[in-house]
Amino acid sequence: MPAVKSRRPRRRPWRIPRGLTRALPWFPTLMIVAAVAGLLAMSRVPAGQAVLAETGLHIIAATGELGLSVNNIEVQGRETTDATTIMAALEATRGTPILGVSPARAKQQLETLPWVRSAVIQRRLPDTLYVKLTERRPLAVWQHGGRQELIDREGAVIPVRDLDRFARLPTVVGDDAAPHAAKLLDMLASEPELAPRVSAAIRVGERRWNLRIDDAIDVLLPENKPQEAWTQLAKLERTNGVLKRDVQIVDMRLPDRLVVRVNAAPAKEAAPAKKSRPAGKST
């Protein structure tokens, strides 16, 4: 009788569960989400914040060693701002890891400088910091409230202490003179021969200007159509030399006439009285 061979049960191959198979493509994303969640949790506690900050510093330092470090600083638009001051605001020198430079912080610090109106800072990898400055341009000296300040075309004060080197600029006087100064000076520039003779402009009643010419003559401009009055004055000066006479005030406020007031002539001295001879004794 033939021997009967026993059959062992065939093992089935191990298969990944269907649910786990579907989840595998999402595994890297889930790991990233978990890492971010862990970092956020660490950032909520002081100890975690310190660890993250320290880790960030090490990472930035490592990028510098790999070649991402400051080697060039390009500055565009600088005329007055001191170069050393710009470097201090950037907080960067040659060899500083470029990823450690904060463009936002540098922009904020640069725009606090007296001459800087706006700043743009860019990191141009691997090794260049680009800085574009828009500097304020002095327009006039603003006299108000018993003090003098330098202003730009927008009427903003440029906080400088020494005004001596700006003595050539015209002076505008009055509490509301600063925001209107650019328009006035543009009008004066339309007559280039007469404009340099204007040493000061006084804002009157928040509506019109008086001009001081040659530090001696006051020209009263009208509230309406001051440009026409200024053009007329320049024409009269070219043709008649109206401002070269012994003039004190030129009143142009009336549209149909011009009133000129001259300096009063000095009073003539009276001739000395003849001394009478003392009467002699009759003989």
CATH number for position 152: 3.40.50.11690
Q: Is the peptide bond before 126 cis (omega within 30 degrees of 0)?
A: yes
Distance (Å, rounded) from C-alpha 262 to C-alpha 250?
A: 9
In the predicted structure, residue 3 carries a pLDDT above the cut 80:
no
Least confident of 12-26, 62-76, 224-238: 12-26
Q: What is the pLDDT of residue 144?
A: 96
Number of domains in the chain: 2
Q: What is the pLDDT of residue 4?
A: 45
Same domain as 196, residue 94: no
Same domain as 156, residue 125: no
Our CA angle for 43, 46, 48, nearest 5°, is: 45
Instruction: Please give the structure tokens belonging to residue 62.
Output: 């490592």
**Is residue 253, in this structure, part of any structural domain at all?**
yes
Give every strand in the sheet of 157-158, ordered side by side.
157-158, 147-151, 140-144, 171-173, 198-204, 208-213, 217-220, 247-251, 259-262
Question: In the listed set 105, 135, 165, which residue is the last one of a domain according to the structure?
Answer: 135
Same domain as 156, residue 106: no
**Is residue 278, in this structure, part of any structural domain at all?**
no
Same domain as 129, residue 190: no
pTM of the model: 0.64
CATH code, 126: 3.10.20.310
Mean pLDDT of 72-83: 91
**Is residue 65, in this structure, part of any structural domain at all?**
yes
Same domain as 130, residue 58: yes
Question: In the listed set 99, 120, 135, which residue is the last one of a domain according to the structure?
Answer: 135
Same domain as 149, residue 131: no
In the predicted structure, residue 153 carries a pLDDT above the cut 60:
yes
Same domain as 219, residue 129: no
Instruction: Please give the structure tokens belonging to residue 91.
Output: 């907080």
Same domain as 200, residue 91: no
Domain that holds residue 102: 41-135
Burial 175-194 (b: 16+ CB within 10 A, else e): eebbebbbebbebbeebeeb
- Segment 88-125, tens digit of pLDDT: 999 888 888 888 888 999 999 999 998 999 999 999 98
**Is residue 34, in this structure, part of any structural domain at all?**
no
Question: In the listed set 88, 112, 135, which residue is the last one of a domain according to the structure?
Answer: 135
Q: How confident is the model at residue 1 (pLDDT cuts 50, 70, 90)?
A: very low
Same domain as 248, residue 152: yes
Same domain as 111, residue 159: no
Are residues 219 and 213 in contact, defined by beta-carbon separation less than 8 angstroms?
A: yes
